[in-house]
């Protein structure tokens, strides 16, 4: 009994240390992208706006810098999932920072402590708003009207603040940015979930199977749900939920699972079934049977750094 308790305690401590390290690496990557490439979101979405403006004007879509940036980010997302959203988007990092800094206040007020601030059905309905934002902006670009209201974009205000030059930025842009920042204090990834038009584009993309976090439901503890509660956008790592495209590939579901049951890649052990049957035979010695030959949790630091380096290189070349 004492040995069993010691093993459990040792495993729990090891997991806790890993979580702290993973969290530190995630923040380091986010801060690095925030400092080096704060305008990638703007540049990529400018490619979307440019394309629809050209369509509305019945002009050819040329290979501009914005289109190249958009194509590079979209291609990366198809291969690696929405890693850009989870680790590299400046607006996403801003939201994470504001939400984390305001955490003590929320706890003191009892907001979102025992249950989420937004009911699941309402949250899912609000996640559809970003598609309306995308359609509205694209429609205005086609109609040739976007330039008349683009000065009220919250990204214009944010870019001005980052650049240290807010001359000429409309007060309306700051008002909208302030409203979004207020939402970020209370709802994790507020902008990403409900308002981000580029996130809407990403969610419509096909993504390679190995880029998604999935759980082995047969091994899940009954009534657990820690993976979903750890997710900043409240997505279960299951095929049906992942089909919505909401997963931002941050890996917090994998970090949140105490059974290490959520992974990005699993290669089954073909001998596992036969070995299990032999182990269950009368008189047979019990042995540890590896269910998977390869299992990538998806938040391993080398893997995260490889993805970050690849995205950093793309940004360096095309932004």
Task: Classify 149 as helix, strand or coil.
Answer: helix
Contact at 8 Å (CB) between 87 and 26? yes
- How far, in whole angstroms, is CA 208 from its chain's centroid? 16
Mean pLDDT check: name the lowest of 34-38, 108-112, 175-179, 235-239: 235-239
Q: Does the structure show a pLDDT above 90 at 261? A: no
- List Cβ neighbours of 221 (8 Å cut-off, separation of 6 or more): 258, 259
pLDDT tens for 3-51 read 666 666 777 787 788 889 989 999 999 999 999 999 999 999 999 999 9
For the ranges 67-81, 233-247, 298-312, which has the lowest average pLDDT? 233-247
Helix (H) or strand (E) holding 102, with range, is none
What is the arithmetic mean of pLDDT over 56-81?
95
Segment holding 13, helix H or strand E: helix 2-36
**Domain segments of the chain as ranges:** 17-207+297-318
Residues 206 and 78 sit within 8 Å (Cβ to Cβ)? yes
Least confident of 116-130, 137-151, 165-179, 230-244: 230-244
Distance in angstroms (rounded) separating the CA atoms of residues 214 and 307: 19
Mean pLDDT confidence for 57-79: 95
Q: What are phi and psi of 266, to 5 degrees?
A: -135, 130
46-66 tens-digit pLDDT: 999 999 999 999 999 999 999
Q: Does residue 306 surpass a pLDDT of 50?
A: yes
The whole-angstrom separation of Cα 283 and Cα 295 is: 31
Residue 135: both structure tokens together? 């359609």
Tell me the Cα Rg of the chain: 22
* Cα distances (angstroms) measured from residue 18 to each of 87, 254, 255: 18, 12, 9
Closest among 85, 94, 96, 82 to 40, alpha carbons compared: 85
Map residue 293 onto helix, strand or coil. Answer: strand
Q: Is 177 exposed, middle or buried (0-12, 13-18, 19+ CB in 10 A)?
A: buried
Strand stretches in 90-173, DSSP E: none
Give the pLDDT of residue 165. 87
What is the chain's mean pLDDT, rounded? 87
Q: Is 275 exposed, middle or buried (0-12, 13-18, 19+ CB in 10 A)?
A: middle
């Amino acid at each position: 009994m004492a040995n069993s308790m010691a093993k459990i305690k040792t495993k729990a401590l090891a997991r806790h240390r890993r979580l702290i390290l993973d969290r530190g690496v995630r923040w380091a990557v986010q801060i690095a992208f925030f400092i080096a490439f704060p305008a990638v979101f703007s540049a990529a979405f400018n490619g979307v706006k440019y394309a629809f403006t050209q369509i509305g004007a019945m002009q050819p879509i040329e290979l501009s810098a914005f289109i190249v940036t958009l194509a590079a980010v979209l291609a990366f997302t198809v291969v690696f999932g929405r890693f850009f959203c989870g680790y590299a988007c400046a607006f996403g990092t801003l939201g994470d920072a504001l939400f984390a800094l305001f955490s003590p206040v929320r706890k003191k007020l009892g907001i979102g402590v025992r249950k989420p601030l937004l009911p699941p059905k309402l949250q899912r309905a609000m996640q559809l708003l970003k598609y309306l934002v995308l359609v509205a902006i694209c429609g205005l670009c086609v109609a040739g009207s976007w330039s008349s209201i683009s000065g009220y974009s919250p990204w214009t205000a944010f870019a001005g603040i980052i650049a240290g030059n807010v001359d000429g930025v409309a007060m309306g842009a700051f008002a909208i940015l302030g409203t979004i920042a207020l939402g970020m204090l209370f709802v994790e990834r507020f902008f990403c979930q409900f308002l981000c038009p580029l996130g809407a584009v990403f969610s419509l993309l096909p993504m390679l199977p190995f880029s998604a976090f999935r759980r082995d439901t047969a091994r899940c503890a009954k009534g657990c749900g820690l993976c979903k509660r750890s997710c900043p956008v409240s997505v279960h790592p299951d095929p049906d939920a992942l089909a919505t495209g909401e997963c931002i590939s941050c890996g917090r579901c994998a970090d949140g699972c105490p059974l290490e049951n959520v992974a990005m890649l699993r290669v089954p052990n073909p001998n596992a079934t036969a070995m299990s049957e032999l182990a269950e035979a009368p008189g047979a010695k019990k042995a540890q049977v590896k269910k998977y030959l390869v299992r990538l949790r998806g938040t391993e630091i080398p893997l995260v750094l490889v993805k970050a380096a690849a995205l950093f290189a793309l940004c360096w070349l095309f932004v």
